[in-house]
Structure 1
Amino acid sequence: MTGTLLLTRLALRRDRVLVAIWLLLLVGVCYASAEATTSLYPSLAERVRAAEAINSSPSIVALYGPVVDVTSIGELAMTKLTVLYAVFVAVFMVVVIRRHTRTDEESGLTELVGGTAVRSTAPLAAAVLLGCGLSLVLGALAGLADLAGGLPLEGSLAFGASWAGVGLVSVGLTAIACQLSASSRTCAAFSAGAIAVLYAFRAVGDTSTGPLHALRWASPFGWSTQLRAWSEPRWWVLALYALTAVGLITSAALVRGRRDLGSGLVAERTGPAQASPRLRSVLAVTVRGHRASLLIWTVAVAALSVFFGTVAPDISDMLDSSSAREMIERLGGVGVIQETLLAAELSVSAVVLTCFGISVIAQAGEDERSGRTDELMAAEGSRGAIIGSHLVVALAGSLWLLVVTGVCMGVGFGAEEGTLTSSVRSLVAAALGQAPAVCLVVLLTAVAWSWRCTWHHVGWVFLAAFVTVGQLGELLRLPDWVVNLSPYSHAPAMPVEPFDPAAATALLALGVVALTAAVARFRVRDLG
């Protein structure tokens, strides 16, 4: 264990901004949902009707999980967070563990640290220790946020424990994936695939009868609902998280001792001796580097958008109280409740899709730090081509994902309502209405990167701040001028509201200013 605690402190210091953002968002959502639900459904009859509406829709159950106790306010408040948002908890752990294991190993940092007085197992042990600690802290904070939002003490503690358990299992899964893969991108693909499979097991188990119903016990996301946090909790279920995490982490440690540094159990495929003529430009190389990621994003966004579109016609049955309808309308505008819900879903999707554009710019910063940008410059690349290619991929990829979101959400909604063509046309336009806000946040990230290569992660700070003041501003009752600081607050809530040319023009003008500043700064500063 020599050097493990020191490396853990170093990893926490490197991740202090990233960790703060994730904790703020996840805990903030817990508090906002708990606080809002108690006012949305003040009477028991309204809560029962809403919970029964959820359980009566297989699509909603597949997406969010079932409501075990229809009379519980905590069960209703944490419906989305128990399963769907637990996926974000798992992704949080993937980001942390991968960065301090496979990414550091791939960049040579692990080899550099290995030349000091540390054991060869210390980097993996430090990453696991950090991930487990963050899981426990997140679980405790989530429980406190629920309690502060007015939910019962026992249920709040059990819910927080379920999030901590999901985080621990994700730490083990990612630790295993880092030993199997020889690159950070492959590690991310393995981890994401495992999370997707476990989520699918839970969805099939919750929506099936007969033998398939048992699949809910094959997934930690299924354990979160079977824990029954808000109605006589089954505390013994927490042992499933702990035992699974211990088994996965132990297996990862054993595999780490049997492989060479920089390699993985799954051998990396060697590329051709000569690159394709199509890769002679910086743009082609950049597209090649992000095409797998864009494909994964496209598939995931398409599946979730179809789900959201299918759920929308049924969700209106949940909103039988006047306070619930008023809150949903405040989030997405005014008008028909189904369209209002679709507008709110599109606004959330826009925030999520911004992450793709930010990740492209963040990868550009990592490439610059690792020396890959210098290699492109040596191969007749120019500064303009480098920043231009990354901006093209980031912006075009984000726009493509917005189109996919609109098309697939329109297909899901139109198939249920019998208005396929008109729904697709309307929701594609509504999704593209979010484009100016998405592009502005991506361009602000590019400005941070262009100023200094180590500032590429500032984009996540921008996103967290805008989400906090924009998406959660109404629920947190922030002043209007604070809410208006978020670009997402100025995106029209289509299809409920009409397109606002003035707001779009203002956002695009700010984007042009940011683009000009980013290109001008990148052309004159030192690389690296």
Structure 2
Amino acid sequence: MRETLAGTGELIRLALRRDRWLLPVWILGFALIAYSTAAAGAELYPEVASRVEAATALNATASMVAMFGRIYDPSSLGALSLIKYTAFMTAILAVLMVILTVRHTRADEESGRLELLGGGRLGRDAPLVSALAISFGASLALGLLSAAALIAGGLPATGSMVFGLGWAATGMAFSAVAGVTAQLTASARAATGLGIGVVSVTYALRAVGDLAEPGPSVLAWLSPIGWNQQVRAFAGDHWWVLALPLALTVVLVPAARALRARRDLGSGLREAGPGPVRGSLSGVWDLAVRLQLRIWVAWAVAFVLFGVVIGSLVGNVAELLSSPTAQDLITQLGGRQALNDAFLAAEISIMGLLAAVYGVSAANHLRSEEAAGHTEALLGTATTRVRWASSHYAAALAGVSALMLLAGLSIGAGAASVLLDVDQLGRSTAAALAQIPAAWVMTSAALTVFGWAPRFAGAVWGLLFAFVALGEFGVLWNAPQWLMDLSPFRHSPLLPVGSGSMGELAGLTAAAAVLAALGYLGWRRRDLAA
């Protein structure tokens, strides 16, 4: 056992040096968000009556419940102020921990770094253990610092500590999930995609479970994100629920280690079979599609399943809200049709964000191909720089478009089947397609960074996170309007989509084209980077 862990300390120090900017930014960012929200909540809801009114309205809006969850104590300032953090921000935290863990396991294998380090005294389990130690430590530091920030913001110490430890335990659980996915695939992109897919599925389970009355249903208890909600910080403080993500971590870490022992360095758990005797690829366009197809198919299956589930829920939205206050709110919104539109619009916008995640990941394949040396070999042939870059960029744009088309069709089909209204198919599809230009902007931003500063390709993820945070919390933080308008997602039209939205869609498409042109300009001017 001691031999298999040789070099773990050295790997931890190396990884911390590599992440000396990334980790502090993540941790301090979450803590600052927690502090600002706690401080702003005290100003927005100084009286118990105002809290109860706001919490009742939120609990009565199905789209808000599906996106953020329920408020279990309407009179609690902490429960109301942090409603967007128990599920939505927890999902973002989970994605960050997946990326961090894969970065120091599968990505280092793919780049050859671990093979080089393995020439020294490096144990077989050292990379996995060091990666998990870093992600566990980051989760714990993030949770404790956020708890301190909430206390400084004026919230009760006990609830703040429960909330912070909920974030920490959930981050550890998804780090362990990523430790397993890193053993199943042969590439970092596939491992990250699989890990994010698990996050998406657990978020969907929580959303469906929270919509049940009186809530939550058993589906919410099948989700680690749902567990974090059921900790109920500032609304009962259920400490015992923290045992669930910790138990999952205890189960998955040995599983990841056992899977690692069954495969060779640089390979996935499933051995790659030999290719055909005669190749069928005719150029870089076919190669780009081949490299990205399997990942896209996995995303497509998740989008279709999620879309059908969301669409089928729309028929029960109004029935779930049976209280007099909820019925009054439905009337104020414009009736059941308006309520259904609000619910579907919220879910379609989430899928638009997920499509942007896919687009950035697919566009960043340019950087991974260059770092692996594949680009240099291809450019040694008659292939031009622009043609090679265009193959991956076009595949990313097409993948985003196809995902949103599938999302619109699946949501529309589910809604049409329960509402017996075939028009839902066209309306939902139009709303989903309207999210494509914003995702294209983020995909093009990844191309821009690749063209000019490839070593900072990961910064696009930070930009995406900033845009999401501005969209969800900008109003709460009193962010200036011009700053919130920088987010492309803010300009995406929602259901129902009218002819007046064409200007915004054209503007987003033009912005994506300008960013792409800048990326091509930089790519043609710079040297290849290792």
Instruction: Give the TM-score taking structure 2 as reference length.
Output: 0.80
Residues 1:94 and 2:90 aligned together: no
Residue identity in the other structure for 2:427: S
Are 1:112 and 2:119 an aligned pair?
A: no
- CA separation of 1:130 and 1:226: change in aligned 2, threshold 3 A: same
For residue 163 of structure 1, what is the amino acid of its counterpart?
W
Q: Note the C-alpha offset of 1:227.
A: 3.2
Aligned mate of 1:272, from 271, 275, 300: 275
* Cα deviation, residue 389, structure 1: 0.7
CA displacement at 1:470 relative to structure 2: 4.5
- Over 3 Å counting, the alpha-carbon distance change for 1:300 and 1:513 in structure 2 is same
1:10 counterpart residue number? 14
Q: 1:310 to 1:150 in 2, by over 3 A?
A: farther
1:366 positional shift: 0.8
Paired positions, count = 512
Residue in structure 2 matched with residue 373 of structure 1 by the alignment: 375
> Which residue, out of 403, 406, 422, partners 2:405?
403
Correspondence 1:284-303 to 2 at 5 A:
284-303=286-305
Query: 1:499 is paired with a residue of what secondary structure?
Result: helix
Aligned to 2:506: 505
Moved more, 305-314 or 30-39: 30-39
Judged with a 3 Å threshold, the aligned counterparts in structure 2 of structure 1 residues 515 and 429 are, in CA distance, closer, same or farther, namely same
Deviations 1:83-108 (A, max 9, x none): 45534333322211112112211221
For 1:123, what is the secondary structure of its paired residue?
helix
State the alpha-carbon separation in 2 of the partners of residues 258 and 496 from structure 1: 52
1:516 aligns with 2:517: yes
1:320–1:375 CA distance, 2 compared to 1 (3 A): farther
Q: 1:373 to 1:237 in 2, by over 3 A?
A: same
Provide the C-alpha distance between the structure 2 equivalents of 1:130 and 1:419, rounded to a whole number of angstroms: 51
Residue among 219, 224, 228 paired with 1:224: 228
Pairwise mapping of residues 26-65 of structure 1 onto structure 2 (< 5 A)? Answer: 35=40, 39=44, 42-43=49-50, 46=53, 49-50=56-57, 53=60
CA 5–226 in structure 1, closer or farther in 2 if over 3 Å, else same:
same
Q: CA deviation at 1:392?
A: 0.7
Native 8 Å contact 1:47 1:73 kept in 2: no
Closer/same/farther in 2, CA of residues 525 and 196 from structure 1, 3 Å limit: closer
In 2, the alpha carbon distance for the partners of 1:39 and 1:305 equals 35
Hey, what does 1:461 align to over in structure 2?
462
1:143 aligns with 2:150: no
Paired residue secondary structure (2:364): helix
Taking the aligned partners of 1:355 and 1:194, their CA distance within structure 2 comes to 14
Distance 1:47 1:179 in 2: 46
Q: Alpha carbons of 1:490 and 1:381: their partners in 2 closer, same or farther (altered >3 Å)?
A: same
Q: Which amino acid aligns with 2:467?
A: F
Whole-angstrom CA distance in 2 between matches of 1:472 and 1:490: 16
- Flag the 1:116–1:458 CA change in 2: closer, same or farther, 3 A: same
Q: Residues 136, 184 of structure 1: CA spacing in aligned structure 2 closer, same or farther, 3 A cutoff?
A: same
Does the C-alpha gap of structure 1 residues 399 and 259 become closer, same or farther in structure 2, counting only changes over 3 Å? closer
Distance 1:414 1:43, change over 3 A: farther
Q: Which residue of 1 aligns with 2:131?
A: 127
Query: How far did residue 431 of structure 1 move?
Result: 2.9
Task: Check 1:112–1:71 CA distance in 2 against 1; reply closer, same or farther (3 A cut).
Answer: same
Q: Deviations over 1:116-135 (max 9, x none)?
A: 45544432222111110111
Contact (CA 8 Å) 1:361, 1:456: kept in 2 or not?
Answer: no
Change (3 A) 1:291 1:67: same
Q: Structure 1: which 5+ runs fail to align?
A: 330-334
Name the CA distance, whole Å, in 2 between partners of 1:409 and 1:475: 30
> How far did residue 459 of structure 1 move?
2.1
Quote how far apart the aligned CAs of 1:372 are.
Answer: 1.5
Percent identical pairs in the alignment equals: 34
Q: Is the 8 A contact 2:159 2:234 kept in 1?
A: yes
The separation in 2 between residues aligned to 1:52 and 1:227, in whole angstroms, is 18
Whether the 8 Å contact between 2:143 and 2:164 is mirrored in structure 1 is yes
Change (3 A) 1:408 1:77: farther
Whole-Å Cα distance in 2 between the matches of residues 319 and 442 of structure 1?
Answer: 45
Question: How far apart, in 1, do the equivalents of 2:427 and 2:82 lie?
Answer: 31
Deviation larger for 409-418 or 129-138: 409-418
Q: Following TM superposition, by how much is the alpha carbon of 1:446 offset from its aligned partner in structure 2, in angstroms? A: 0.7
Paired residues of 1:60 and 1:311 also in contact (CA < 8 A): no
Report the alpha carbon displacement of residue 20 of structure 1 after superposing the two structures with TM.
6.0
Q: Displacement of 1:110 after TM fit?
A: 0.3
Q: 1-side partners of 2:398 and 2:260: how far apart?
A: 39
Whole-angstrom distance in 2 between the partners of 1:508 and 1:495: 20
TM-score of the aligned structures, taking structure 1 as reference length:
0.80
Superposition deviation, residue 111 in structure 1? 1.3
Structure 2 spans left out of the alignment, 5+ residues:
none
- Conserved 8 A contact 2:52-2:74: no
CA distances 1:314-345 after superposition (whole Å, capped 9, x unpaired): 37959959xx99xx99xxxxx95554554454
1:166 aligns with 2:170: yes
Q: How does 1:466-477 map to 2 (within 5 A)?
A: 466-477=467-478
Q: Report if the CA contact (8 A) 1:406-1:428 is conserved.
A: yes
Distance across 2 between alignment mates of 1:292 and 1:273: 17
1:380-427 Cα distance to aligned partner (Å, 9 max, x none):
432122111111111111122222333333344445544331x33233
Instruction: Flag the 1:204–1:146 CA change in 2: closer, same or farther, 3 A.
Output: same
Task: State the secondary structure of the residue aligned to 2:236.
Answer: coil
The 3 A distance-change label for structure 1 pair 442 and 244 is: closer
- 3-state SS in 1 of match to 2:105: helix
Distance 1:262 1:110 in 2: 9
Q: Which amino acid aligns with 2:369?
A: D
Alignment of 1:343-492 (within 5 A): 343-421=345-423, 423-492=424-493
- Distance (whole Å) between structure 1 residues aligned to residue 492 and residue 414 of structure 2: 23
Instruction: Report Cα offsets for 1:9-68 as digits up to 9, x if no partner.
Output: 4323434565467557766776687656994895465367457647xx7x9988766665
Whether the 8 Å CA contact 1:51–1:70 is kept in 2: the answer is no
